[in-house]
Structure formats: structure tokens, C-alpha cells
Amino acid sequence: MSHTARVNEILSWYASENAGVRVNLARLLNTGKLAGTGKLVILPVDQGFEHGPAKSFAPNPAGYDPRYHVELAIAAGCNAYAAPLGFIEVAAGHLPGAIPLILKLNNSDSLSSGHDPISAVTGSVRDALRLGCCAIGFTIYPGSPARNDMYEALRELTLEAKEAGLAVVVWSYPRGGKLQKADETAVDVAAYAAHLAAQLGAHIIKVKPPTAHISEMNAKLYADKVGELKTLADRVAHVVQASFGGRRIVIFSGGETKDESAVLDEIRGIHQGGGFGSIVGRNAFQRPKAQAVKLLGDIIDIYAGK
């Protein structure tokens, strides 16, 4: 099966990468219900590590079993499934080759607190290879005093991944240092965070949906742009533009659990703004399976332009 024109166009943005990387990007783009559209919906399940098992899975206890999530991702027609080492080990052993896997290489737990935001590196490129993954995932916290350590860890993993033909997905979450809570999703900060991930060599960039807030440091710079950033679609378009003029895949997180219509409204905004898709975790796996498949299906339909 040859690629669609859109997939070929997207792959052309990564022309400097070796064939292995482009094959794995193609696998991501050619899987699930959105195959060939250039859009992506990914199921990520790292909340057990980040927030604890009960907080994550008690609402839908089937999710304590890691087989549940990879099965959900397949049933819903997602492009890929992303998780930390332990969950990916189960997925790779349970249904090898059934869906592209993204190994999240760093994670942060909630049993400790009060430190500079920095995640532990809990997996490696060699893990991703032995588990048959198509990509690595890595979280950076721009703004954190420890940001340089993260950028440097990412640099080494990115080079190793690319040489091994793996794609690189970067979660870019501004946090810490001089950034206020509201700044973390401010549209100016989100655009900068997405640009940084692209400059660091990410193929796929994940940010949070940007708000209309402008951080203090950029108040003057954006003074005359506020009018153009009123809607979520406007702001998504700004973030996508900041990501190499739209020539990098930028996807958006689903964030905290909310009702379905709120979720779908947000997706429509992302889609209208030219976003490349969503990564939906808690809003998927914390619902009963049938509801989750339905909601993910509705999200996919929006991105498919139905």
C-alpha cells in the first residue's frame, strides 16, 4: 500500500532523517482509524506512575491490568499507545505488533515533592528496541532550573534513537522557575515550548491546549497580537506556526477529566487551528470501555473531518 499524499508530504518534512525513522513515522501515521489522514490520536497511560495507581485506576478498575489499555487503544482505532517501561513490557508481550508503541523514557512520581521539576529517566533506547517500539517519548519542563539537564538527557536519547531508526516524541510542559501557574499554558509560553522541542530534534511535539493568558515576560511583545488569539483555534494555529511554520507534528493533551461535550469542544478547536491530533489519557481510560471507545471514536471523527 502506498502512502497517501498527505503522509508523503509530512514525511518530506523529515527528509534529513534515515529510512528507519521515516518508516516508524509512517507506521504512526498509517495505523488506526486516522491512517493516512496525517492526524493522530494516541492513548497515553503514565498516570499510574505520575499520580498513583488508585488515583488513576479506581474510577475504572479494569485499568489496573495493563492489558486493558493496549486493548482499548486498538479497539478505539488509535494510532499508538504510550506508557512507561512496565506497561509497555506488558503490551509488547501481550499483543506484539498489534499497535505502534511509544516508550515514555522519563517519568515523575508524586510521593516526593518540593524539588525542582525534573523527571527520572526510567527507560532507554535499548529498552525501546528490545520491546519493538516505534518511538521514544520524553518530557521536558522548560522554565525549570533543571531544564538544561533535561535538554542534555534528551539530546543523547534523541541521537541514539534516530541512529536506531526510532521516532522521537517530546512532551514540552513549561513549569518551574519564574513561571507562574497560569504561565504554564499561556499561549506565548506554549508556542515557545513547542519551538524548543522542535529545535531539540523532536518529530512529534505534545503541548497542552494554550490559554489566552500572556506571561508577564512577553506582555509587551504580544500587546498587538491579543486580538488574533481569542479562540482556541487561533491559539493552536499560533503554536503550530511556532513549530517550524507548521512543518512539525504538534499534538495536544486532553488534560483533566471532564464531560464529553467539553472534551469534544476542545478537540474541535484544536482541529480548526490546524493541530495534528490529541493524546487522550484520563478522559479515555477512566470511563467504562464502551464509553471510552465511543468518545475516542467521536474525537477521531472530528480529526477525520467527518
CB 301 to its own copies: min, Å: 30
Given 16, 97, 223, 227, the residue binding its own copies (CB under 8 A): 16
**Residue 139 makes contact with its own copies by CB under 8 A:** no
- Residue 38 CA to residue 18 CA, distance in Å, equals 20
For its own copies, how many residues bind (rule: CB under 8 A)? Answer: 91
Three cell numbers at 277?
A: 491530533
Active site residues: 206
Residues 149-208 that bind its own copies (CB under 8 A): 151-152, 155-156, 159, 162-163, 174, 176-179, 188-189, 191-193, 195-196, 198-202
Given 5, 145, 230, 291, the residue binding its own copies (CB under 8 A): 145
Residues 46-65 that bind its own copies (CB under 8 A): 48-49, 52-55, 58, 61, 64-65
Smaller CB separation from its own copies, 96 or 288: 96
CB 306 to its own copies: min, Å: 30
One character per residue 243-272, x = contact with its own copies (rule: CB under 8 A) = -xxxx-------------------------
User: At 281, phi and psi to the nearest 5?
Assistant: -105, -85
Smaller CB separation from its own copies, 289 or 294: 289
Cβ neighbors of 220 (< 8 A, separation 6 or more) are none
CB 298 to its own copies: min, Å: 28
Three cell numbers at 120?
A: 527520572
Residues 79-98 that bind its own copies (CB under 8 A): 84-87, 89-90, 92-94, 96
Burial of 74 (0-12, 13-18, 19+ CB in 10 A): middle
In terms of residues, how long is the chain?
Answer: 306
CB 155 to its own copies: min, Å: 5
